[in-house]
Homo-oligomer: A and B are copies of this chain.
Amino acid sequence: MSDDNHLPYDQSHLYRLRHTAAHVLAQAVVALFPGAMLGKGPPVEDGFYYDFDLGCDDDGKARTFSMDDLPRIEARMREIIAGDYPLYYRMVEPAEARDLFAAQPYKLELIEELLNEGAELSTYRQDAFEDLCRGPHVARTSEIPADGLRLLSIAAAYWRGDECRPMLQRVYGTAWPSREELDEYLQRMEEARQRDHRKLGRELELFMFDEEVGPGLPLWLPNGEIIVEELEKLAHEMEDRGGYQRVRTPHIAKEALYLRSRHLPYYAEDMFPAMERGGTSYYLRPMNCPFHHKIYASKARSYRDLPLRLAEYGMIYRYEQSGELFGLLRVRGAQQNDAHIYCSEAQFDEEFLAVIELYRTYFRLFGIDRYVLRLSKHSKEGLGKKYVDDEAAWLRTEEMVRRVMRNAGVPFVEAEDEAAFYGPKIDVQVWSAIGREFSIATNQADFAGPRRFNLTFTNSEGQEETPLCIHRAPLGSHERFIGFLIEHYAGYFPVWLSPQQVHVIPITDEHNAYATQLVTRMQHAGIRAAADLNADRMQSKIRQAQMMKVPYMLIVGDREVQYGTVSVRRRDGLRENAVDVEHFVGMVKEKIVRREPTPATSP
C-alpha cells in the first residue's frame, strides 16, 4: 500500500497525503454545510474518511448527505488543493483548545479524553481551517494530486462505534499519487465488487440468509452444498492419508463441560447464551476441543496409541456482534475443519510440521501463492484474563513452536497478544487472487486443555504423562473458506468444485433425446451434468449457463446426433466442434479426479 517502498504504511508519504486529504474534506464540508460538526477523520487502508454531524432539519430529522453532494464537495476540495496552502502544526494549551473547538462537541470530548490520558494537544491548520490533530501531514495542500482524488461513498457510523451515541455521516474518499494509480485502484474495486462473495453467492445460488432464521446463519442451497461436500471429501481423503480418525460430537453441552474447559470464564462473551431447563444450563459449543478431550479420556491410552489424531468437520457457534457479521466471512454458526492431535513432547515437532505441510498442500491445490504464518503469542497483562494464568508454560510452549518453525526453515512473523486462551497459535493469512487478505487457517499448541481434562498416557517407562494437544483447522470453516474461494475464483470454480460441470443444450426439441442420453452417460461417469430441455431459445440457454459459470456447455444438433459427437463451448469462450463423446467424458473425468486447478485469474 505504500509508495515509499520499505516504509510501513503509517510512515509513508501516501499516508500523510491521505490524512491531509481528510482535513481538506472537512474544510470543504464545513464551508458547504455551515454548522457541520466534526467527528474523526483518519487515513485508512486505501484512502481516508471523515465523520460529520450535519445537525437536524426543521422537522428534527438528522440531516444526511446524498450522493449528489459528493461532486460538489470534491470540487470544493480541488479549490483548496489549488490554493496551495501550507499546513501549520502547533501545540495548544487545554484552555485554548477548549476555546478553539467550543462549537465542536465531538472535538471537545476528544480533548478531555486526551487530557485524561496525559497527552499533549496539537492542531494542524491549512488556510483558515484548524483541526485537532497529531499528524502527520504533507507540507502543502497542493501535494494532494487533484486528479488522484475521489470521494467514493457515504455511510452511517455511530460516534465512537457506540450504538447509544449519535449516528454520524461518514464520507469515504481515496487519494493516490497519480490519475493512473487511482484508475487502477477503482478498477481493482470494481473487480472486487464483481467477485464479492455475497453477490456471486446469490447469482450462483450457493447460499442465502433469511430474516426469520437470523443474521449470520447461512442456509446452503443445493449448489453451495455440492461445494461443501466436495471440500469434506477432500478433507476426508487428506485425513485418511494423514492417519486421522474421525469422530462426531454434540453441538451442545452442559455448563459443567465449559467450566472445565474454561471456555466459560475465558470465552463467554463470544458464546450464545445458556438454555436453562430442569435446573441445568446447556450451551452451544464455540469450539470442538472439549468434546475431543472427552473422547481421548474415554479409555486408557498408552504411548503406543499416540499420536492420536481426532478429526471432525464440527459445527461451532459464536455470537459475533451484529455489526461485525459479513456474508460468509463472519458468521454465527460455522462448520470447522477441525482436528486435535494428542502427542508426547517428543512427537510434537513432527506432528506440528506435518500440519504446516498439510496447509501447504491445500494452498497448492487451491492456487494460493501468497500466505504468511504468524506466531500469535500471549501478553503478560492478559494472563488470568484473556489467557490461562501460567506464564512459564506460555513461554515454554511459545519457544517450542518457534523452535520447530525455525528448525524447519518455515518463514513466519510473531505477534504479541493474539494467542488462544489455552496456548500460542500459528495463524495463517492468505491472499486471494486479487490481493485481498483472509484469515483462514489456524494451528494451536495447547498445554492447558489436556491438564484441565486430566488426560494422560502411560509412557514407555510405565509412568503417567500428560500429552500435548495440537488444534488445527487448515481449511478454516466451510463458511469462511468458501467465501474466500468464491472471491478467489471469481465464481469460476475449478471443474471438480463446480456445482454443475456440464450443461447440455439441444438446438431444437428433436435433439432432446440425445441430450438426455448424454446426461445419463456423464452421470454414470460421476460428472454433474444436466440438460436444458425448456422451450427457451438456444441463445438464452447459453447465456443462462454462462451466467452460472458452468465449465462446459455442449451444444447438440443434427450433426452431433448423426456422428455421436458434441460441440464443446468452454466458459472462457473457447469452442471445439465434433468432439468424440467418450473423449470428452474422459477429459472431464480426469480433471475431476485430479482436482485440476483453474488458473485463479482467468474465467
Q: Give A residues with C-beta under 8 Å from B.
A: 205, 208, 210-214, 217-222, 224-226, 228-229, 245-254, 256-257, 260, 272-278, 280, 282, 284, 291, 294-295, 298-299, 304, 310, 315, 317, 319, 322, 333, 534
Contact = CB atoms under 8 A, between A and B. Distances in A.
A246 B272 contact: no
A224 B317 CA distance: 24
A20 to B, nearest CB: 39
Given A212-B253, A219-B294, A252-B317, 14 more contacts: A210-B257, A213-B291, A218-B250, A219-B291, A220-B247, A220-B248, A221-B295, A225-B246, A250-B333, A251-B315, A272-B275, A273-B277, A275-B275, A304-B534
Given A273-B276, A273-B277, A275-B284, A213 B248 contact: no
B252 A219 contact: no
A319 B274 CA distance: 15
Contacts of A322: 278
A211, A217, A310: residue with the most chain B Cβ atoms closer than 10 Å: A217
8 contacts: A212-B253, A213-B250, A214-B254, A218-B250, A219-B249, A222-B310, A272-B277, A273-B277
Given A219-B295, A251-B333, A212 B246 contact: no
A170 to B, nearest CB: 23
A229 B212 contact: no
A197 B111 CA distance: 70
B275 A214 contact: no
Nearest to A333: B250
A213 B276 contact: no
Given A280-B214, A295-B208, A219 B246 contact: no
Contacts of A225: 245-248
A214 B280 CA distance: 9
Nearest to A534: B304
Contacts of A298: 208, 210, 219, 221
Contacts of A317: 252
Contacts of A276: 273
B213 A294 contact: yes
Contacts of A218: 250
Contact of A275 (B205, B245, B257, B273): B273
Given A273-B275, A322-B278, A210 B294 contact: yes
Nearest to A205: B299
Contact of A319 (B245, B273, B277): B277
A273 B280 CA distance: 11
B246 A222 contact: yes
User: Which of A205, A210, A224, A252 counts the most chain B CB atoms within 10 A?
Assistant: A210
A304 B534 CA distance: 9
Nearest to A285: B213
Contacts of A221: 247, 295, 298
A593 to B, nearest CB: 15
A315 B313 CA distance: 14
Contact of A228 (B248, B250, B277): B248
Nearest to A294: B210
A283 to B, nearest CB: 9
Given A275-B272, A294-B213, A222 B247 contact: yes
Interface centre among A225, A228, A275, A284 (most CB of B within 10 A): A275
Contacts of A254: 212-214
A284 B208 contact: no
Contacts of A245: 222, 225
A291 B217 CA distance: 11
A244 B429 CA distance: 38
A153 to B, nearest CB: 27
Contacts of A229: 246
Contact of A252 (B257, B282, B284, B291): B284
A212 B224 CA distance: 35
Nearest to A218: B250
B219 A247 contact: yes
Contact of A249 (B205, B220, B256, B275): B220
A518 to B, nearest CB: 18
B272 A274 contact: no
Contacts of A278: 322
A255 to B, nearest CB: 9
A214 B276 CA distance: 13
Contact of A257 (B212, B294, B319): B212
A251 B315 CA distance: 9
A335 to B, nearest CB: 8
Contacts of A294: 208, 210, 212-213, 219
